[in-house]
Amino acid sequence: MAAKNIVTLDANNFSDEVLKSSQPVLVDFWAEWCGPCKMLGPVLDELATEYDGKARIGKVNIDDHQDLAAQYGISSIPTLLLFKGGQVVGQTVGLKPKGALKQAIDAALK
């Protein structure tokens, strides 16, 4: 389902792929049954392609990885957390337009 440059995240790789990343990482907390999450998928695929080499996109299935969802206080999905330098620097909840997500990523790249 995910594009080849979208990383599927779990408790085993979250630290290396997100917290230790030298690039900003936009992490999508989602679930298979979530309609807005499915609508966001193609947008994330486009962003992953556009920001390839500059920023990364990751996805956490909250049904499979409830520990990560709890750790970051995820109560609604889709929730997107933007990490830079191992810290959360941005958060959006719900379906957002591509432009809003691009603004957040661009700000993290500065």
Q: What is the pTM of this model?
A: 0.94
Per-residue pLDDT of 37-81, as tens digits, reads: 999 999 999 999 999 999 999 999 999 999 999 999 999 999 999
Residue 1 lies in a domain: no
SS3 content of the chain, % helix, strand, coil (to 5): 35, 25, 40
Residue 48 lies in a domain: yes
CATH number at residue 95: 3.40.30.10
Residues 6+ apart with CB under 8 A from 39: 95
Positions annotated as catalytic residues are: 34, 37
Residue 81 lies in a domain: yes
The total number of structural domains in the chain stands at: 1
Q: Which domain holds residue 13?
A: 6-109
Residue 13 lies in a domain: yes
